[in-house]
Structure 1
């Protein structure tokens, strides 16, 4: 089955098939095949569409949630791990186009790649057909998870750390990259999280989002001991 058939099975007709296909083109595939466009620009659009869709759904929850609870819930629902879970439940990662090296190293299952692809897919769907196809896809994987707003969907350590810090102070923690190694198609980031000039924790990951989560986890677990 190709992505066009997959969408038709969900009642979604597309008008620009190359745009939808672009959502699944990882930079490693583009580099090897000398294609013009990878999915990074579509990822930018999809992130915005996802944030708006989630915010609207959370805002309409009854009884109404306070602003802090809404922010925490949204962060859980749109974090890298959660997006990867949705994409894998839908089996969208089967359509990923990867370079041979990325394929061999397990990129088809890697959360950072799969979550970026999912956002790019949403961006392409929105550009092709507006919010209706977005509703169709996201209702399938997210709406049921909104039935219990107190359920922990995925542990978002960045949010947990910020909440812990703000229980004592109004200050905000910051994240900075202290080292980046590896090739461009499989980078490795080392990030530290700081409060003012104090380093609270460090983390390593194959994306900035993952490394930030690991740094926040390191800091949070130290602070709650």
Structure 2
């Protein structure tokens, strides 16, 4: 039996049947019953991307908090981010779409492109294994050079407002030292509960550190 032909994505070969599946949208299979869509590969690729990038962040930013790393990962693996990578790789032109999806501009839609990128990563994992798939993910996501956010206050407020309309408040517990070298101790409170405490050379710095501590505690609790 002749070997399957291969095609390349980002310089890596993938067998033609597997790549075709990775780039087949469900709208195409609705009109072509014999075809297989990319949803299972997308499911697999999503997990590979998240683990690969989580591992990258963990080892690249050893001094960053769990809250900061979570925010950086969310930005990197977001739909717009993955869609940009799909465009860079030229995946849009290679996706098989149904007529209706094609006419509605689906080939340029972020959600569809992001799904295709995830599916291609899933295909690379099946074809070449974890090491190759991980390097592929990092070579693209790592090159984005996304900053790890230091806006702990904004991140904390976003997290708390997802479950409560009440925003956190910050209170100065202590202010000491001369005017040119003051030290502030601040606590952050939400619904009467103390979430964290921070010390800094300014109120703003102390508030950010208090929010960072609160994020670490809340996220650690949610992962238990």
TM-score bucket of the superposed structures, by smaller chain? 0.5 to 0.7
Q: Please, which of 157, 160, 176 is the counterpart of residue 164 of structure 1? A: 157
State the 1:134 CA deviation: 1.9
Q: Which residue of 2 aligns with 1:204?
A: none
Larger mean Cα displacement after TM superposition, 106-115 or 36-45? 36-45
In structure 2, the residue matched to 1:134 is 133
Q: Deviations over 1:126-185 (max 9, x none)?
A: 111112432443244211224743499xxxxxx99863144xx5x743xxxxxxxxxxxx
Aligned pair partner of 1:6 in 1, 5, 8 = 8
Other-structure match for 2:25: 26
Could you tell me how far apart the structure 1 residues matched to 2:23 and 2:82 are?
15
Task: Indicate how the Cα distance of structure 1 residues 65 and 161 shifts in structure 2: closer, same or farther if over 3 A, else same.
Answer: closer
**Cα shift readout 1:7-44 (whole Å, capped 9, x = no counterpart):** 3x71x233x43122101110110111112421111111
Alignment of 1:100-115 (within 5 A): 100-115=99-114
Q: How does 1:68-217 map to 2 (within 5 A)?
A: 68-146=67-145, 148-150=147-149, 163-166=156-159, 169=160, 172-173=162-163, 195=164
Q: Does the CA contact (< 8 Å) of 2:43 and 2:119 recur in 1?
A: yes
> Which is further off, 52-61 or 29-38?
29-38
Alignment check: 8 A CA contact 1:23 1:42 kept: yes
Residue deviations 1:69-124, cap 9 Å, x none? 00000000111111101111111112100011111111010011111111111111
Q: Aligned pair in 2 of structure 1 residues 147, 32: CA closer, same or farther (>3 Å)?
A: closer
**CA contact under 8 A between 2:49 and 2:121: conserved in structure 1?**
yes
Larger radius of gyration: 2
Between the aligned partners of 1:54 and 1:160, the Cα distance in structure 2 is 24
CA distance in 2, matches of 1:110, 1:161: 29
Write the distance in 2 (CA, Å) between the matches of 1:83 and 1:37: 22
Give 3-state SS (helix, strand or coil) of 2:71's partner.
helix
Conserved 8 A contact 1:58-1:70: yes
Task: Name the SS of the counterpart of 1:6 in structure 2.
Answer: strand
RMSD of aligned Cα (Å) = 2.9
**1:48-89 deviations in whole A, cap 9, x for unaligned?**
000000101100114521100000000001111111011111
- TM (normalized to structure 1)? 0.63
- Structure 2 residue runs of 5 or longer lacking an equivalent are 166-224
Aligned to 1:61: 60
Structure 1 residues 5 and 13: alpha-carbon distance in aligned structure 2, compared to 1, 3 A threshold = closer
